[in-house]
Chain A
Amino acid sequence: MKNIDYEDQGQFCSGHVACPGCSEPVTIRVILNTIGDDAIGVVSPSCSAMISGGYPISSVKVPMFHTTLESAAASASGVKRALNARNKRDTTVFCFVGDGGTYDIGLQALSSAIERNEDILYFCFDNEGYMNTGGQKSSSTPLGAVTGSTPEGKFTQKKNMVEILAAHRTPYVATASPSHLNDLKAKVEKAKTIRGTKVIIVLIPCVPGWGLAEDGAVRTARKAVEAGVFPLFEIEHGERVRITAGRIDEDLRIDGYLKEQSRYRRLDAGRVAALQSEVDQQWRRLRSAATTADETSSIPCKTPTQAA
């Protein structure tokens, strides 16, 4: 096992309120230490808002603006523009948002921020449901998963957010996982060098919401990557696709990944086959995009800036 290759500058403190065994704090620790001091965060109601800390304490060293569930991208735009007006253009403005705040209620604001190419770095901590409110389904919840609002298992597929973001020609879109922290760190570093909107979706297996063993979060995340359920890749300007980690064996099935989780307890053989088929199809599609992408093309994008 490789050590995490980063220097902890103390940007994230212990004593936060994440559930035992949660992999989100280590993810946040890597992100914040990679972003550094010159940053302001916007966080919408989610696990990351609770982990960031309730008044009057904060586990995050940089200032955080707690906004409404649907408003992270719009609020971050406001922070960034105010910093521009104050000639503080180099400060990184980032968002911590859940999948509910990204795939569902915040999608409209995010879409608009990307269309304006706001210079923000947006993190979606994707635990595939409204886990902070006790575990209800979101449009990120996969087929067959039992949640507080899908007692028979969800009847429809997970929304393909990455393709939606790619269709916006977003300057930088990536997926990441707490099982591959060096990969996460490299993606945050790359995103920091890009002006415009950057979105990184991190899979966060939820110990209570997915029904995992307390030591199962990172193992489950790794299995998601290695079975091709949640491959790690990046897309620049909607065209250049690069896979950084994915299915390790083309014959590997998703059963090992599913067995870590009690949320799939209602899956019958037919639904397992449907899920496997969806994963196979998405993986083939991603592989094909990565191999046929035109490496030389790029769409010029400007960030909205004040007239000099």
Chain B
Amino acid sequence: MTTTVRERSRGVLLSGNHAVSNAVMLARPDVIPVYPITPQTPILERITELHAEGGITAELLTPESEHSAMAACTAASATGARVFTATSSQGLLLMHELLHFASGARTPIVMCNVNRTPAAPWGFWPDQIDSLAQRDTGWIQLYSESPQESLDSVIQLFAVAEAVKLPAMVSHDAFYVSHAMEPVDVPTQELVDAFLPPYRPEFSLDNAHSASYCAPTDQATWRRSRVDLDAAMAQVPGLIRSTGARWGELTGRHRDLLEGHHLEGAEVVLVTMGSMAGTVRHAVNAMRKEGLAVGMLKVRLFRPLPAAALREALAGVPCAIVLDRNYSPGTGGVLHQELKSVLFGTPVAPRLHGLLAGVGGVNVSSARIREWVAEFRSREARPDPVWVE
């Protein structure tokens, strides 16, 4: 018997954060250690409500800090539990030590991070430097544009993380995604159960086997742990593609490494991540109507960086403009740096421009994006970033 996508889901008006809480319930985690921080708190509060109502049956831990939350996540995952947590900004930065630990321990924790400016000065605004600064910690990283994509990503990431024994985070922008509401298709429990079977770890802390975890090693063993981690990372793009395609068959929403919009014959491609993709899409549509050959490339998978897919998507494109809602002092926009490294050595690399746009959460309008395309499309490429507003 076949059913339509409509019968396998229901449309609900949800914020990005509540879409994540719904996804968590559908993924049936065993343990959820979580600590509150603005603007992540609606995720935590909805999870605790769902727990009180019986929708979520996980062991819920509310420790004194994000650091302890992540310590509990890692140990619970190593003990064979499916584990979820959520944080933002300062909380993610406080976890930093244990983010390395979680990937080294090969614990497939799934986390939602709400992208927010780190202090100082204090701010609560959408900016991606909190999670981009974690790019070397060994976590799979997705960036989400919308509540729907955040819901889909949480469920998809459990499947990917558990297959390769790596922790994974999906980040969405503060307020633009975390608090903005839109109609979200929430799949049925049956659909998610079919997509995501219960977690059956190959290894776990178990007194039947008396094997210890994470004990001190010699140099060669430590190195081998990273060679193994590298091999696991290399499987991730393929798994994102295959699970994204399977999710697409079930829901009609295919989730890939990258998302292109009007890339056909594009002479200028705007490259960005997260909520800014929505504004860029609007600007691209307007420019296409005017006959300008402009497209957008949204980077969804940031770690591991899908280098081959990025090269393929930008092959033959004369000009690419990166819009970075983040700033890495001393170099510039992080996505700009990453694209420079990916495109280095390709036969016909685009002229690449890196614009620091929307840093600190300042608004980036569709009109300004169109002006930047007009300004930069014919310019020579420069290695340095450009501050724009």
Contacts and interface: CB of A to CB of B under 8 A. Distances in A.
A46 to B, nearest CB: 12
Interface string B57-71: 111011111011101
B72 interface: yes
Given A54-B217, A78-B79, A71 B71 contact: yes
B31 A50 contact: no
Given A40-B207, A78-B74, A64 B215 contact: yes
Contact of A66 (B61, B63, B73, B213): B213
A62 B83 CA distance: 24
B81 interface: yes
Given A54-B217, A58-B212, A61-B210, A67 B58 contact: no
Given A63-B207, A85-B30, A86-B81, A78 B212 contact: no
Interface in A86-123: 86, 91, 108-109, 111-113, 115-116
A79 B57 contact: no
B67 A63 contact: no
Contacts of A63: 205-207, 209-213
Contacts of B101: 67-68
B221 interface: yes
B214 interface: yes
A81 B216 contact: no
A195 to B, nearest CB: 15
A218 interface: no
B345 interface: no
B245 to A, nearest CB: 31
A69 to B, nearest CB: 9
Interface residues of B, number: 44
B213 A64 contact: yes
B80 interface: yes
Nearest to A91: B207
A47 to B, nearest CB: 13
Nearest to A42: B75
A60 B210 CA distance: 9
Contact of A76 (B75, B98, B207): B75
A112 B215 contact: no
Contacts of B389: none
Question: For B30, B65, B74, B75, which residue has the most chain A Cβ atoms within 10 angstroms?
Answer: B75
Interface residues of A, number: 48
Interface in A12-70: 37-40, 42, 49-50, 52-56, 58, 60-68, 70
Given A65-B213, A82-B30, A86-B80, A306 B59 contact: yes
Interface string B213-234: 1111110010000000000000
A62 B59 contact: no
Instruction: Pick the most buried of A37, A50, A85, A306: most chain B CB atoms within 10 A of its CB.
Output: A85
Interface string B353-370: 000000000000000000
A113 B69 CA distance: 11
Given A50-B216, A54-B217, A82 B68 contact: no
A66 B212 contact: yes
Interface in B267-294: none
A138 interface: no
A78 B216 contact: no
11 contacts: A40-B205, A42-B75, A53-B215, A55-B218, A64-B212, A66-B212, A74-B67, A74-B68, A78-B71, A81-B31, A84-B59
Interface of A: 37-40, 42, 49-50, 52-56, 58, 60-68, 70-71, 73-79, 81-86, 91, 108-109, 111-113, 115-116, 304, 306-307
- Pairs A-B, 9 closest by C-beta atoms: A78-B75, A78-B72, A82-B79, A112-B64, A74-B68, A71-B71, A78-B76, A82-B81, A85-B30
Given A63-B213, A77-B75, A83-B79, 15 more contacts: A37-B207, A40-B207, A52-B212, A53-B212, A53-B215, A63-B209, A65-B212, A75-B72, A75-B75, A77-B61, A77-B63, A78-B79, A81-B59, A82-B79, A116-B63
